[in-house]
């Protein structure tokens, strides 16, 4: 399967999930693992066979890993922002990222409420609905509109902030310049939350690291997909450096 095939497959999966959720009556908890909703299960049930049948291994938030000995493995969050989906808030997404032995390869993050779709391929840039994305040029915190996962314990001097509930979409919002930067003040994100958005950020020119400024080392997730990372991202190196210095608060 080449990268064009991966783009096509990921778009198909996003479309199939959107169709599968169309007309869903019960957006409540599934009774499965804590915080798992019916829509998470439906989306996972649609996506996993399509990924496996295409010859990919799978690491999913909602089910056990399969086929990790395959040369390309997809990390998927069938629905990122599941609570938003259950509340009818149009900020929830499907995130899929293919990894090979060199790291992040092809990514899709699709807002399943609006259909807005971000895609990226290693070395080929990032796009939003087919148009190249450009991050912001903001260099200082007092000029910045920041988006948070979790909340800081004190005011850090930002111009404005949002906390929206889908880290994948939040990070894509940094890639396209909607937000100047992102900080995770929670106990950290899992690989399925950010793998797709991390490639989209990388390819857009966003600096994205862990909270002490360390580069993300994605292939390690093959062996430990459950570890959590607190991310910091910004459109400029200057703002990123300032956000890293404040991310311990
Ligand atoms: Mg999820």
Q: Where are the domains of the chain?
A: 3-132, 141-246
> What is the per-residue pLDDT for 224?
58
Greatest CA separation for the chain: 50
CATH class of residue range 141-246: alpha beta
The beta-carbon contacts of 207-214 under 8 Å, at least 24 apart in sequence, are 207/233, 207/234, 207/235, 207/236, 207/237, 207/240, 208/171, 208/174, 208/232, 208/233, 209/233, 209/240, 209/244, 211/183, 211/184, 211/244, 211/247, 211/248, 212/244, 213/240, 213/241, 213/244
CA of 96 relative to ligand 1 center, distance in Å: 11
Q: Could you tell me which CATH number the domain at 3-132 has? A: 3.30.540.10
- 183 within 8 A of 213, measured Cβ to Cβ: no
pLDDT of residue 225: 61
- Determine the distance separating the centroid of ligand 1 and the alpha carbon of 81, expressed in angstroms: 6
Residue 116 has pLDDT above 90, yes or no: yes
- Predicted confidence (pLDDT) at residue 93 exceeds the cutoff of 60: yes
Expressed in angstroms and rounded, the spacing between residue 83 Cα and the centre of ligand 1 is 9
pLDDT at 205 over 90: yes
Rg, C-alpha atoms of the chain: 17
Q: Read off the pLDDT of residues 154-177 as tens digits, 9 standing for 90 and up.
A: 999 999 999 999 999 999 999 999
Range name among 16-30, 124-138, 220-234 with the lowest pLDDT average: 220-234
Distance 3 CA to ligand 1 centre (A): 24
Kindly tell me if the per-residue pLDDT of 220 is higher than 80: no
222 — pLDDT class (breaks 50, 70, 90): low
Judged against a pLDDT cut of 80, whether residue 44 lies above it is answered with yes
Contact in structure between 59 and 75 (CB atoms under 8 Å): yes
Confidence tier at 249 by pLDDT (50, 70, 90): low
Distance 203 CA to ligand 1 centre (A): 23
């Amino acid at each position: 399967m080449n990268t064009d095939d991966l783009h096509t497959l990921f778009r198909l999966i996003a479309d199939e999930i959107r169709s599968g959720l169309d007309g869903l009556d019960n957006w409540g908890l599934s009774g499965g693992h804590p915080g798992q909703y019916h829509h998470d299960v439906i989306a996972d049930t649609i996506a996993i066979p399509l990924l496996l049948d295409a010859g990919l291994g799978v690491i999913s938030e909602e089910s056990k890993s399969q086929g990790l000995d395959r040369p390309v493995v997809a990390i998927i969050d069938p629905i990122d922002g599941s609570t938003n989906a259950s509340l009818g808030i149009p900020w929830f997404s499907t995130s899929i990222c293919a990894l090979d032995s060199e790291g992040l390869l092809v990514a899709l993050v699709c807002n399943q409420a609006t259909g807005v779709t971000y895609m990226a391929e290693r070395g080929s840039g990032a796009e939003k609905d087919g148009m190249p994305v450009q991050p912001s040029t903001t260099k200082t915190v007092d000029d910045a509109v920041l988006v948070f996962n979790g909340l800081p314990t004190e005011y850090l001097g930002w111009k404005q902030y949002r906390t929206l509930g889908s880290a994948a979409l939040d990070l894509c919002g940094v890639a396209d310049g909607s937000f100047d930067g992102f900080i995770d003040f929670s106990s950290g994100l899992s690989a399925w939350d950010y793998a797709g958005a991390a490639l989209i950020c990388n390819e857009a020119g966003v600096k994205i690291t862990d909270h002490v400024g360390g580069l993300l080392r994605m292939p390690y997730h093959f062996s430990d997909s459950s570890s959590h990372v607190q991310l910091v991202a910004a459109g400029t190196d200057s703002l990123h450096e300032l956000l890293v210095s404040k991310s311990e608060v």
